Structure 1
């Protein structure tokens, strides 16, 4: 963005305009912020400084240019920073020092944001538009070491030269470019609002795609010019050829194919009656029989993808996307189809993904697609689309729900800026209060006879409350629960207490939430029920949007109801993608019957249904092996797997007749598999059910000296970087408490090694201990504590990270840690590098979470400590960032974390562990199995030996559903494999509730 000056007259303005013109020619307005005249006021109000020209660019960082409209004859002398002038409006000046002060003032302001501290390069330049470099050198000014070479007349005349010269000098330089997020933060802190631009639109005559059928070489010759024109302007080309075609005659065909803009398919042998030559624009004229024929003649042509992408703009679609069938590619191309064929703006497209990582990945994939099209075509419309992606709503369902709640918060008594909180402590306090109230009116004898400690009962009730929230029950639905019957006075009193608590607890909590204008994560979904049934309330939201939903099989009842409401009241067009065979989040409240439920709730809507079966991940022989298992599971009704679900592949096996291994031990197989991995980028994955199993495999690999990466469930807030960060915060918060200071100093931030024996002589004397500890850092730690009086907490922590060179020292620290963990054995270089990389990634992720949580607040150390303590104690859903590296060829992952990933070789090393080792104490009836939607939902409970009569019925249903979910987990685990699968099966199976039994019933033998 270029922001010119509003001034029309002032001394030196013509010279500044000369430099401004050069800057705007040298940089791209889409990616660089340049401001002509940026004012800055002193904090005490005593005056202001004004930067002549300010540039913010991803490569340059922050650059201040001071312009002097003088000729060489007007420069009398230069001594140090002071310049003396003749025949100028001032006699003396210090232009470099002046610009330097402006830069420091601006940088200090920007670096109050901890995510910008030491993150951008800082540059100062003097621009002399009326002086040439030759004139400068003739006066000998270039020999003065304290005077950096200015920008001369020649530099300003050549855009390339200007860009290069600006990068040659910096007061401070980072080794990285500014990210888009960081550039946006800087713009925001400068008070620059992004301009509302008209959404870009592709020229109306530009089709999204053309499909050419080429029976003979002559037909290719006839279409060659049209194909070249299509590619040049950005139209995707599908070419179905029955003969060899001379692709080399199409300019840039290799890049076009690499970007999937040119897609050439060769017919299989033996086709007696080829299809007639023809060209089909945007899928028009390609009916179902013709599409079927195309798929039969051209095995590599993905008819399912073509069908899904080219449906009419207003079509509602349900896409069943099997594992590895390219659903992301389909969604991106469908968006392009809407832009080019329907003239839809990206601002009218909403995409719901399952995780934050998926959100970021989808944005990147879209941007990359548009940028690739721009490079191929030089059509700036595609560049504009890439810029517009940042404004497109791509988010998780919880983020989308939060945006709705912000818009409609007034309808339920909340302010617009609703905050998120856990309310864990408050919930338990309310339970205690309601217990006291109940037993103030009722005898307590029978309750005491249960011999259940009060905190155990409160924890059980809290768990029930969480389960109800997870199943999206509102306050009214809790009051209407069907509690069934009980036998015996002790069970009756438990039932009465539970009914009393759940008739009142949610209302009590809602009062607190409204007072604090805060809700829980679970509220983001379930409070949508308060809107979805009302046309008036829903009518306040934007209409006529296009909604894409990824991983739809993991939606819950309320999310499905929301989609139905958006369709009914706001005319949303739906594009839902999923695979019920990969529905593995039932424990979070997801309903694998989501496709059926959506159709049931939107009976008046016709959906175009498409199955994607062509797999791009696994070899065909591996899929054939899996098919046998999956078909057996379908016969037993454990897995919904019909003929239309069978995956097909054209990928050849790298290990013919040696890609499927079943044995009683994985150790020997693992050694052979590791030795026979074809390339360094190929990976082996150990896929397990639980983090405990992952730890066992990790210990085995560590004992063998094999570097691994781990991709586990919910381990982020118990990881070392988070615990060390808390220790640092507590040390800064409690600088007079020896234990907190000691813990902080022993983190990698300071890296002090203080043996316990060194503390014994002080006999626990606090002041002497503190004095000793501060001496170890030569008072440095005390200095950081003092700086908290003037600097924000996160700024101080960023200062510690920079001053102590944390990331540079991490490898040495991690080497010592690993050596200590493994009994003094020296770790490999690969293990050290991986540990340091993991630590760095986790710390960066933590800083992003802190910025996201506290961005709108003045944060204190106490707030930081309390938030960290709560997350460490309760948050088991936040995952560690996935490491993208080639050092370790072995990854240990849970099934849930492996979703969406692929590995050359997959091991299932532990299959005999029972999956219902802990008996659940309560169940909420699934909304989808209620006999009648008007009926009350059943709740079953069991405490000690007491239970209501719903418990055994609901438990039986839950056991069956869990068995099906475990089967789906196995489906997901197996379909991660590209080339090989190794399964460990015990010689005898004693437990039916384990993976080994499911595999055996599928026909697998050890």
Structure 2
């Protein structure tokens, strides 16, 4: 591979095809401006014939400004005969006729409004407009900026046609797997209009034959089951030849119940389920053969043979169905591309992709050479900026127009910074141009960074032969353009521009998981920033460092939130500059809830949801008070009726402004940690909704629908990107992608130890086939480990290396990296360039750097606050203190920790009133006499929860007298104000609950627990020296990381004093004690809505994990005090959260079970007992 020559912008010949590799900070825009001026002066090209193309509107405007300034500067120099700019000085030396040159420059400035400086789409649009006849385009075509409605129309048409030709069983299967028009569109949306992609065609096996075979196998197995259930159960439940650790009786009871349900549904062939029940393989011959004890005979029954046949038929059918879904996606993509083009052409419309595709087709079709000649006659030279972000279609256009070498063309870009593949950019198009270029140049003088930082980055990327994986993308060390620059000095130290903050685990070789490392990384960054901003500690030249000098570069929004939270806790002003649409924010959800309540103020649930938003700042206590005071509720609802009428009478903007003022929304939002961000989002949404109402003549329903549509599928309008709340002297938190092209005095790259991007399989991937000249290929639903996946991962790994380069080249003075043996550091992009992840492995790198690289400890223990810059010498007056102080020592409770209300009370699912309505689609109220629908329709809320709790508290679990149970239930229903009609429904549910299988060893059911072996509503108090969210999560993360992942994150005010609460039920079976909590939460209308995943989501939403941790500590301390021989492993059975509506006799459905590790119990007990 040839090495590019260093570019001399004064001497480079203005001819042929030239490729300029402009490394980060090497003056790309300055070079383009200089070449533009030389073409004006030396070749007398008018501005309207000198084509300049870049890829964004912002870059186009910057180029226009810089080029015009260069023209003015050059003209002044030609008039005076002198210049400080070495390029202009070179031109002065080379040009023989300064007067003629000045005339040409003056004409260029005078006519600069006609300059041909475009985005790529703008250029194509100009060609289509100027040469409509030659390109076979309609003369009056309208360029549209949004085509989502048209795409949806096309997708719906495709689905309707497919439904007509597809058997009902397959349609049902597709819907059961979440395959429907919206999901298909989400899968293929980003590939619509990408005509350069070659789409892999999956093979579709004969579905009908496989389906018939599956149905036949099902019917044989079902018939055998129906006539042999008892014998089959006996063979599996009490068979001594089977390994009990595999065929556990309790587990098999659950599997047999599921099997019975499965075989009872297929009354006709149309009703046969296409999903095997969980654990079906336990009934197959293969599983039985592998599970018998040594020397024993495999249990024999024709049913197991039929199950094996059914299992095999199912595997074949499912494999074929997976292929069928791939085929469906490919067919939709082809249909969408063809149909969209036809419909837009019929309507004389062009979308952005059409501008490129239509020019490409015109240039490469019949008459293409004639069109190319016409364009060449209009543009006699071209400068193509940011060329690394091109794609095959764009490059094919430029190559067709200017690839013959008759005109001077300069392709300018940096393949090391090609990081936008997710937008369609294709590095392989750049590499093709690289091969065809007449001459290749490189810019090798870095004007951005200090010499020590430049040399440190050079050293890092020069450690390996191919740092960017592909040999065609080489790393060429750059030289500092300025050897003397003002220095960054921190407490007198101006060395080590590249600094590693090393984060070590508790053990020397411990690998910190991603979960455990995320927060400490953010803390380390925040503490170092506080140190830098400390008064007098850090200076750049003669001035102090401010927050505005610092940028933190991250990959994900989660990382940004972690850093922002750590900075705000230390009172460091910061701003998140993220490429996020405002419709994807929590504020968009809140605004939609408020508007729905205004549209339908008679619906109490909608009004409650609006009041619970941060905009209204309503709390659960406020809502409870409204429930208790009819007059207050009526006043509240009347306000929503007023907003409804105001919207109709005066429009959206007038109404919403009044609402924000009435509820003190700015004050409510600014009181939150990220309040300025939230308020900015709300005001931005208000403007966009007003604009939509105005532009599209939308009424109330139309505005709400428009908002909902944008929330579901936000488009790519730049106007929809989050606005900055304020960035004055604030630390900037920026994504690596957004930081490209920018520079900051000080940069932190905290999360390079985690891979920047990864593929989540099965996935749709675009890869380049090396056997087909790197043709871009789209493959649907690729599985991990395939050759396609390996090629896609190689390309992604290469892009991650390029993203790393972008991050490390943003800094002017100093770049910080948080590093350690954590996450995927060893296999990350940075890990590939370093000698290792251990601190010791970095020593040779530091030694070879001659002081340019430093490794220090990451500070995760500091708690210093940023106190701000020095205040002016003015008289200040303290504000009056009006807030009531909460004493440090207090009595707390679970409800107090999560809601701030300290009063403990029995938990009757009333902590979050109305929350269950979020997940149910049932009617809000059930009329009396309509109880036949089942326990799912039993009223929801605190009153219903109290009623059900009362029944279980007063009923003998071992009693089987149904008449007595009916009497108890009826009496309780009347006590709590419910209709007697619910008696059979509730009583039947009680029987199901008491006879449900409680997981564990040994298997349990509440029906085995006599009154003497249980305690109802056990009240407890236990002392707490110190309970904090950080200390609690540290113990959980250390000893139960899976539980920590489920919890996610919790925040509450630290507690010192006592914890007080009530445990619904404590019971004892065979010397082991258990905690149980009744939950009447409504998760849905079907049994399948009470799965483990749904229960886990409910547990997390209501912080039940924290609740049962507290309960376990309470019972642990109680038993330790009362039982001299108490041992946790021996006597503590675990926790059951009983979601009553979903429980069924003989099954574990609706039961959430856990048993905390003994190490966690002891750690928490110790944490609560120690003062800090």
Whole-angstrom distance in 2 between the partners of 1:735 and 1:404: 54
Which of the numbers 791, 800, 818 marks the counterpart of 1:966?
800
Alignment of 1:941 with 2:780, yes or no, is yes
* 1:891 paired to 2:732: yes
Classify the secondary structure of the residue corresponding to 1:334: helix
Structure 1 partner of 2:140? 416
Inter-partner Cα distance in structure 2 for 1:876 and 1:1001: 43
Partner of 2:571: 705
Aligned to 2:345: 514
Alignment partner, residue 354 of structure 1: 55
Change in Cα spacing, 1:465 to 1:382, as seen in structure 2 (3 Å) is: same
How far residue 562 of structure 1 moved from its aligned partner, in angstroms, is 1.1
Q: Distance in 2 between matches of 1:732 and 1:553?
A: 50
Question: How far apart are residue 362 of structure 1 and its match?
Answer: 2.5
* 2:451 corresponds to 1:620: yes
Q: Does 1:339 align with 2:177?
A: no
Quote how far apart the aligned CAs of 1:692 are: 1.8
Q: Which residue of the other structure, out of 534, 545, 549, is the alignment partner of 1:683?
A: 549
Matches within 5 A, 1:276-295: none
TM-score, normalised via structure 1 length:
0.55
What secondary structure sits across from 1:910 in the alignment? coil
Q: Give the CA deviation at 1:699.
A: 1.2
Number of equivalenced pairs: 659
Alpha-carbon shift at residue 328 of structure 1 (Å): 0.9
Partner of 1:672: 531
Is the partner of 1:987 in helix, strand or coil?
A: coil
915 and 596 in structure 1: CA distance in 2 versus 1, 3 angstrom threshold: closer
Partner SS state of residue 891, structure 1: strand
| 1:693 pairs with one of 553, 559, 562 | 559
Q: Give the whole-Å Cα distance in 2 for the aligned partners of 1:362 and 1:767.
A: 60
Secondary structure in 1 matching 2:393: helix
Q: Does 1:644 align with 2:644?
A: no
What is the CA-CA distance between 1:912 and the residue it aligns to?
Answer: 3.5
The answer as to whether partners of 1:925 and 1:954 remain within 8 angstroms in 2 is no
Whether contact under 8 Å (2:204, 2:327) holds in the other structure is no
Structure 1: segments with no counterpart, 5+ residues: 1-291, 293-302, 789-795
Retained in 2: the 8 A contact 1:584–1:896? yes
| Cross-structure match for 1:661 | 499
1:408 and 1:731 map into 2 onto residues whose CA distance is: 53
- Match in the other structure for 2:996: none
| Distance (whole Å) between structure 2 residues aligned to residue 941 and residue 312 of structure 1 | 47
Residue correspondence of structure 1 range 188-587 to structure 2 within 5 A = 307-308=8-9, 311-369=12-70, 388-406=111-129, 416-420=140-144, 422-424=146-148, 427=151, 430-431=154-155, 433-434=157-158, 437-438=161-162, 440-441=164-165, 453=176, 455-456=178-179, 458=181, 461-469=184-192, 471-473=194-196, 481-483=200-202, 489-491=320-322, 493-494=324-325, 496-498=327-329, 500-533=331-364, 534-538=368-372, 541=375, 543-545=377-379, 546-568=381-403, 573-587=408-422
Pair 764,463 (structure 1): closer, same or farther in 2 beyond 3 Å: farther
2:429 — aligned with what?
594
Distance 1:876 1:353 in 2: 22
The superposition leaves residues 381-413 of structure 1 with CA deviations (integer Å, 9 ceiling, x where unpaired) of: 878755644443434323434444555677567
Quick one: distance in 1 between partners of 2:587 and 2:114? 33
Residues 713 and 897 in structure 1, CA contact (< 8 A), matched pair in contact too: yes
How far apart, in 2, do the equivalents of 1:674 and 1:386 lie? 45
Residue 569 to residue 867, structure 1, CA distance change in 2 (3 Å): farther
Correspondence for 2:672 among 799, 820, 835: 820
Conservation of the 8 A alpha-carbon contact between 2:583 and 2:714: yes
Deviation at 1:626, TM superposition (A): 1.4
Question: C-alpha deviations, 1:94-151, integer Å up to 9, x for none?
Answer: xxxxxxxxxxxxxxxxxxxxxxxxxxxxxxxxxxxxxxxxxxxxxxxxxxxxxxxxxx
Please give the TM-score of this superposition, normalised by the length of structure 2: 0.48
Distance 1:528 1:720, change over 3 A: farther
Which residue in the other structure is 2:441 paired with?
Answer: 610
User: Equivalences for 1:159-178 in 2 at 5 Å?
Assistant: none
Checking the alignment, whether the CA contact within 8 Å between 2:68 and 2:109 is kept in structure 1 is: yes
Matched, 1:907 2:748: yes
- Are the structure 2 counterparts of residues 625 and 318 from structure 1 closer, same or farther at C-alpha, using a change threshold of 3 Å? same
Distance in 2, matches of 1:843 and 1:448, equals 39
- Which has the higher mean CA deviation after the structures are superposed, 575-584 or 348-357? 348-357
Distance 1:719 1:770 in 2: 27
Using the TM superposition, give the Cα deviation of residue 424 of structure 1 relative to its aligned residue in structure 2, in angstroms: 4.2
Q: Do the aligned partners of residues 644 and 993 (structure 1) sit closer, same or farther apart at CA in structure 2, a change above 3 Å counting?
A: closer
CA contact under 8 A between 1:350 and 1:548: conserved in structure 2?
A: yes
Cα distance, 1:483 vs structure 2? 3.6
**For 1:885-915, what per-residue CA distance to the aligned partner results, in whole angstroms no more than 9, with x for missing partners?**
7633411111001001111111111233344
The alpha-carbon deviation at position 561 of structure 1 amounts to 0.7
Higher mean displacement: 665-674 or 978-987? 665-674
What is the SS of the residue equivalent to 1:1000? coil
Residues 437-496 of structure 1 show CA distances to partners (whole Å, capped at 9, x for unaligned) of: 4565565667867x773543655543453343374347xx65xx4446878544554455
1:844-892: CA deviation from partner (whole Å, max 9, x where unpaired): 9969x969x999x888888776665544432364564775976334111
Q: CA deviation at 1:983?
A: 1.0
Contact 2:201 2:327 (C-alpha < 8 Å) held by counterparts:
no
Aligned counterparts of 1:882 and 1:364: Cα–Cα separation in 2: 24
CA distance in 2, matches of 1:593, 1:974: 23
Distance between the aligned counterparts of 1:572 and 1:733, measured in 2? 63
Say yes or no: does 1:978 pair with 2:812. yes
Secondary structure of the residue that 1:341 maps to in structure 2? helix
C-alpha distance in 2 between matches for 1:350 and 1:744: 54
Distance 1:875 1:764, change over 3 A: farther
Equivalent residue, structure 2, for 1:772: 639
Structure 1 residues 638-668: Cα deviation after superposition (integer angstroms, max 9, x where no partner): 3666463545443455354332221115244
Q: Determine the C-alpha separation between the residues in 2 that align with 1:695 and 1:514.
A: 45
Q: State the alpha-carbon separation in 1 of the partners of residues 44 and 611 from structure 2.
A: 59
C-alpha distance in 1, partners of 2:349/2:137?
Answer: 11
Give SS of 1:593's match.
Answer: helix
Equivalent residue for 1:718?
A: 584
1:482 touches 1:938 (CA, 8 Å); kept in 2?
no
Per-residue CA distance 1:767-793 (angstroms, 9 max, x = gap): 9877535769xxxx96775456xxxxx
2:712 matched residue in structure 1: 873
Distance verdict in 2 for CA 1:693–1:876, change over 3 Å: farther
Q: Displacement of 1:592 after TM fit?
A: 1.6
- Aligned residue in 1 for 2:987: none
Residue 583 of structure 1 and its aligned partner are, at CA, apart by: 0.7
Distance 1:836 1:443 in 2: 51
Cα distance in 2 between the residues matched to 1:735 and 1:399: 48
SS at match of 1:685: strand
Q: How does 1:45-194 map to 2 (within 5 A)?
A: none
Match of 2:1124 in 1: none
